[in-house]
Amino acid sequence: MPNPLPDWLSPPPGIKRPEFCTERDVLAALAADDAGPAELAALLSPAADALLEPMAQRAQALTVRHFGRTITLYVPLYLSNYCSSGCVYCGFASDRTTPRSCLSEADASQEMDKLKQMGFEEVLLLTGERTPKADFEYLERCVAMAATRFHQVTVEAFPMGVDEYQRLSQAGCAGITLYQETYDPEQYERLHRWGPKRDYAARLEAPEHALQAGMRTVGIGALLGLSEPVMEATRLLQHARHLRSRYWRSGISISFPRVRPEAGGFKAPFPVDDTFLAKLIFAFRICLRDMHLVLSTRESPQFRDGMAGVGISKMSIGSRTTVGGYVEDRAKSAPGGQFEVSDQRDITTFCNMLCTHHLQPLFKNWDAAYRDAPPRAAAAFTVCS
């Protein structure tokens, strides 16, 4: 039986279906001070197709206003591809024949050194679902190792409770990313065939656990292509607004992953083309003016070049979706990745592109000082000289 949706994810009342939205609705959404689900529906409607250029211009202006002419860069490091779940769309699902590996702590250390040499200061550590090879304690040790090298360490792994997120935070983790994949509970149940990831509610609650544990950033997203995209977008927006209002000391970011080819040959039931994805990103920037919108190397160079700074404020580059893969010797023997990387440009080429678009790549946009500040003592600030 699929899990019922929480109240904050229920369909908002009084919203027009996209096919009934008019150009006037789209223009009103473009001019709205606080665009919400109703405006999102208009911006994603067929009527918005004729207004794509004004949407892009509005998205760019709002992006420059909050983030300036900059793009924050990060890099993923896959620690393990062992997985206990059967997600039908994932190259690391437990029924795939992909060879399995998990970086030893010595190997992980070498990979981190290599990423540091490449200039990165924000690293995203990834694993599959919780397994004996890559369990919580392993991840915690890897976070602590990374925190000695990088100013910002974030994690994309399995859902956890508040206690485990607190431990990760104490080890040096500044934030987590956890995609709901699809917000449609019935489709979720169909696509997640076995394993712990079948639990829709546990996944939906995990970002809140991280925020309750004091994480600074939480990234959310839907894997576009799995379900009807306007419904997904509406619920993703509701999720972001819910987290923003409840956890006001933390930053929420949104990613826009699309289903990519993987070893199992999964075909997206609701494919999203470039034009719709661009429209979706413009619409999210208009609705969420001050959140990081993230685009990974899943997307093509041409698409990423066009979206940089036009809604998108944060990007990965030089990514490997294999376990490790940045240290040359290990890259040659690395098994297949979670999905095919589309933008395979090196860092220099990508940064040169950003410069030609009058955008400054930011490798370091944070400081470990904030992570390493001593805990607040009870009477630390109570005496006035």
Partner 1 sequence: MDTDHLELKGHRFTSRLIMGTGKFADTPTMCEAIKASGTQLVTVALRRFNPDLPGDDLLGPLLALPGVTLMPNTSGARDAREAIRAAHIARDLSGSPFIKVEIHPNPHHLMPDAIETYEACKVLAAEGFVVMPYMPPDPVLAKRLEDVGCASVMPLGSAIGSGHGLAAAELLRLILRDSGIPVIVDAGLRAPSEAAAAMEMGCAAVLINSAVAAAANPPAMAAAFAQAVQAGRAARHAGLMPRSEMAVATSPLTSFLGAAQ
Should residue 65 be labelled a site residue for partner 1 when binding is judged by CB under 8 A? yes
Compute the least distance from the CB of residue 291 to partner 1, in Å: 6
Contacts of residue 194, defined as CB under 8 A and 6 or more positions apart, other chains included, come to 85, 86, 94
Place of tokens 């379900």: 227
Radius of gyration, alpha carbons of the chain:
20
Should residue 216 be labelled a site residue for partner 1 when binding is judged by CB under 8 A? yes
Compute the least distance from the CB of residue 346 to partner 1, in Å: 15
- In Å, what is the CA distance from 213 to each residue of 65, 222, 345? 31, 23, 37
Place of tokens 């896959």: 78
Calpha distance 318→343 (Å, rounded): 8
Stretch of residues binding partner 1 (CB under 8 A), selected from 20-28, 81-89, 126-134, 351-359: 351-359
Compute the least distance from the CB of residue 204 to partner 1, in Å: 22
Should residue 101 be labelled a site residue for partner 1 when binding is judged by CB under 8 A? no
Q: Do residues 207 and 243 touch, judged by C-beta distance below 8 A?
A: yes
Our CB check for partner 1 shows the closer of 1 and 373 to be: 373
Our CB check for partner 1 shows the closer of 26 and 252 to be: 252
Calpha distance 124→146 (Å, rounded): 10
Helix, strand or coil, per DSSP, at residue 103? coil
Is the torsion defined by CA of 16, 22, 28, 29 positive or negative?
A: positive
Should residue 365 be labelled a site residue for partner 1 when binding is judged by CB under 8 A? yes
Burial class (CB in 10 A: 0-12, 13-18, 19+), 380: exposed
Site string for partner 1, 230-259 (x = CB under 8 A): --------------x---xxxxx-------
Compute the least distance from the CB of residue 368 to partner 1, in Å: 9
Compute the least distance from the CB of residue 370 to partner 1, in Å: 5
Should residue 291 be labelled a site residue for partner 1 when binding is judged by CB under 8 A? yes
Range 165-204, binding partner 1 (CB under 8 A): none
Question: Quick one: which of 133, 198, 242, 364 contacts partner 1 (CB under 8 A)?
Answer: 364
Compute the least distance from the CB of residue 69 to partner 1, in Å: 4
Stretch of residues binding partner 1 (CB under 8 A), selected from 31-39, 91-99, 183-191, 356-364: 356-364
Should residue 287 be labelled a site residue for partner 1 when binding is judged by CB under 8 A? no
What is the size of the binding site for partner 1 (CB under 8 A)? 43
**91 beta partners:** none
Should residue 305 be labelled a site residue for partner 1 when binding is judged by CB under 8 A? no
Helix, strand or coil, per DSSP, at residue 70? strand
Compute the least distance from the CB of residue 31 to partner 1, in Å: 16
- In Å, what is the CA distance from 236 to each residue of 52, 184, 239, 315? 21, 11, 5, 19
Stretch of residues binding partner 1 (CB under 8 A), selected from 10-18, 20-28, 31-39, 353-361: 353-361
Range 113-172, binding partner 1 (CB under 8 A): 116, 119, 121, 151
Calpha distance 292→314 (Å, rounded): 6
Helix, strand or coil, per DSSP, at residue 20? helix
The two structure tokens encoding residue 37: 């689900």
Our CB check for partner 1 shows the closer of 50 and 355 to be: 355
Q: Do residues 220 and 229 touch, judged by C-beta distance below 8 A?
A: no
Residues contributing to the site for partner 1 (CB under 8 A): 64-70, 116, 119, 121, 151, 216-217, 244, 248-252, 290-291, 355, 358-367, 369-370, 372-376, 380-381, 384-385
